[in-house]
Amino acid sequence: MKKFLLFGTMLLIAASLFSCGSKKTEDAATSVATDTTTVASSTEERPQQTPDNDYYTPSFPDVGLYIDYVANNSLAGTVEGGGTHRVDSKPAGTVKAIPNLGYRFAGWSDGVKDPVRSGDTTDESKQIVAMFEYDTLELPILHITTETGSDVRSKAEYIGATLSLFNADADYCLDELQMQIRGRGNKTWEYEKKSYKMKLSEKQSLLGLGEGKAKKWVLLANVCDQSLLRNYLALQFAGAMPYGVWSPDCTSVEVYLNGEYRGVYLLCEEIDVNNNKVAIPEDLTGAGSEDIGFLVEISGNPKDPSFECNERDYQIHNDLSTNEAEARRQQRYIEDYIRSCWTAVRDGDEAKIAQLIDIDSMVNAYLVEEVLKNLDCGYDSFYLYREPGGKLTFGPLWDFDNALGNADEGTENYYDLYVAYNERYQSNPWLYTAMEQEWFRDRVVKMWNETADVRSMLSATVLSAGKAGYNSYCRNFEKWDLFGRQWNRETEQITSLKTYTEHYQFLAEWIDQRLAWLDEYYHDETFIPDWDSTPINPENPEPEWPDWGGGNWGDKEEPEIPEVAPPITEGIGNDAAQSLSGEHTALFVDPSSASSTINGNFGEEIYYLFDNDVRSKYCCSVGRSGGWWGQQQQSGTVEITFTLDAATVLSGYSLTTANDTSEYPDRNPESWVLYAQTDDGRWVEIDASSSADLGMGAYDYTAYGKLIENDVASDSYKLVITHVGILQLSELTLYTK
């Protein structure tokens, strides 16, 4: 069983950027301090030179005296006013040693400690070096230098790079390992602080992480988690569960890219087919076999090869045969096995399920996801695998930044079951369906009781990590101004936290409250026999959060969500909508005919704008620049096209707000233009309007109409919406006289 990697107190070390220990730096400083080389030259002007690696050897002219002021590494600091000073006729001018973020000035190579110096003279030309070293080093330091010298700009194409990595105790050193790097993430790629995927030239166990060596590693930026510890805690928890499967090992590191400080990242093993990870054969292209084993993921953004089952998309992550016909048979085998497993879970027969599925791994997955209240446990990054000839196994578990009280839709509260119910499109059909069975709930309670020691370590792990890496984590937020804003799904409880201390202590307290509530609920005598698959909402006292210097945690009012959406006749928002619904005829738009340049979130696609059900909606992100939330924004457009059964002259239309517009009124569309297509293929504008024109307000399930003067008969229409941010509508309804 993997043990929790509790952070310990780190040591202060002095290290240059391109060395892995302090001894090399000390030796180099001594050498430079005593070096007074004079180089013969026929010119008085010294050629322009730039320090390379740790130091460089200056070439002084043989006429005059010079002092050369440089930094021990330009990536660690700079010398303001530095360079070569001629001192045979007058003393040197003023120079100042300025450390970069994460470094400190340790002194000049000739023993002077003041970072500002002036009036130096010398009897022979020499070099004086400003010595910079890491500030108190709490986390390992990881340096990436790209072959282009520029930033990583693509999440599709790798570029060459080198990696250097060392820890605080100087007992681990990896110098300039060749690798490739690219960006990673979907919406998170839009953030300024980006995540990366690395592919090493040779397998390594970086910092001793994992059960063995691997080539693929990831660096998670964790922009949406200001504790910087949710993914770390979740992966350690998953790996420590005795009935779990392999879980990616990880640790926090401070990252420098081409010398620029990039903040704290979580260095993780990549989920991958590897004998030390997902233990199925790495080479799965073998001929003549359909049962090659597989690794699949429930994904909201699947790439081929992929397939659909139980209303979820699955991406296949292992290689298939290079022979196309054989690859199709292999994929069909994978699809059929997943569907057979799903049929067994849906039917609820324990014996049949046990023949196909590792039930312990399924119970383990449920408990980890439930404890952490992971918003996306059934939408994305949920993995399953099967060894050749084996059973379907649930795991590895992954992606928990929208968990542990850090997201809305009920996941912010420490109370209530969440994963156990089918409440929203992110819900996991495998887990909520299994929880309907009494025998499965009985297994949940047994595993819960057996893992008390593991659970007891969670909050202590958070507090230990937050305290031990405090200075490093604070440096991250000096670099990235993230506090107090909503970047993804953070609640008011989270955005009210203004310091790093508040963030990590809030996380520790939330997990304590969560565990206490679950322990009581799982041991209630009604849980196993009388559980009726109905989401619970017991009377819970508001949590009494400790006073940690700020943050009114627990005072967020929960919105009342109706069990059934009110009839649209009760949601008339303006006179035009009243007139249209009473005097005009609503037209049917086939939802399958609709398309959009932005299809929408999973379960909130363009289809649902025309399905005549206000309880569903079309929701997507439009036009944000420089970050999904809170950073510089600019308007964008989304084009929605749809058809009618026959050419028709429209007399008007209505737009209906969605389920939570009262909480997010800025999700109403800003402005739009409605076009009709003529017989010769031209798009003709028949109306232009805006949310302000229609008086659209902060009301749920409410229709706002527009009467239009129009004489164009068409069966093809296009609505072009201009907006910035999250856009949502539950219905677009067309009318004719």
DSSP 106-130: EEETTS---SEE-----SS-EEEEE
Question: Are 34 and 166 part of one and the same domain?
Answer: no
105 shares a domain with 145: no
Would you say residue 5 has pLDDT above 50? no
Question: 298 lies in a domain?
Answer: no
Q: Is residue 498 part of a domain?
A: no
Cα separations (Å) of 708 from 589, 594, 650, 656, 713? Answer: 19, 22, 8, 17, 13
Domain match, 93 and 228 both: no
Token representation of residue 619:
């929701």
d(CA 217, CA 177): 13
How many separate domains does the chain show?
3
Which residue is associated with the tokens 């007139």? 579
The whole model's pTM is what?
A: 0.64
- Are 59 and 197 in the same domain? no
Q: Is there a single domain that holds both residue 123 and residue 33? A: yes
Give the tens place of pLDDT for each residue, 110-119.
Answer: 999 999 999 9
671 with 629, same domain? yes
What is each CA distance from 432 to 386, 418, 426, in whole angstroms? 21, 9, 11
Whether 214 is in a domain gets the answer: yes
pLDDT at 623 over 50: yes
Task: State the Cα angle at 723 between 719 and 728, rounded to 5°.
Answer: 75
Could you tell me which of 302, 290, 296 has the C-alpha nearest to residue 328? 290
Is the four-CA dihedral 401, 407, 412, 416 of positive or negative sign? negative
Same domain, 581 and 723: yes
Distance CA 273, CA 270 (A): 9
Closest CA to 697 of 724, 721, 664, 725: 664
Domain boundary among 101, 116, 134: 134
Is 711 domain-assigned? yes
Minimal CA–CA distance to 83: which of 50, 125, 110? Answer: 50
Identify the sign of the CA torsion 241, 246, 248, 251: positive
Residue where one domain finishes, among candidates 105, 134, 163? 134
Query: What angle, rounded to 10 degrees, do the helices at 438-450 and 359-372 form?
Result: 70
Burial (CB count <10 Å: 0-12, 13-18, 19+), residue 436: middle
pLDDT by residue (tens digit) across 26-83? 333 333 333 323 232 222 333 333 443 445 667 777 788 999 999 987 777 899 999 9
Q: 574 lies in which domain range?
A: 568-736
Within 8 A by CB and 6+ apart from 372, the residues are: 234, 237, 400, 403, 404
The mean pLDDT of the chain is 83
Using DSSP, state whether 645 is helix, strand or coil.
strand
Q: What are the tens digits of pLDDT across the range 228-261?
A: 999 999 999 999 998 768 899 999 999 999 988 8
Instruction: Enumerate residues 6+ apart whose C-beta is below 8 A from 122.
Output: 65, 67, 87
- The single residue listed with the structure tokens 């991250």 is 476
In a domain, 470, yes or no: no
Query: Of 179-183, 299-303, 624-628, where does the model show the most confidence?
Result: 179-183
* Whether residues 42 and 171 fall in one domain: no
Q: At 548, is the secondary structure helix, strand, or coil?
A: coil
pLDDT surpasses 60 at 714:
yes
> Does a structural domain hold residue 342?
no
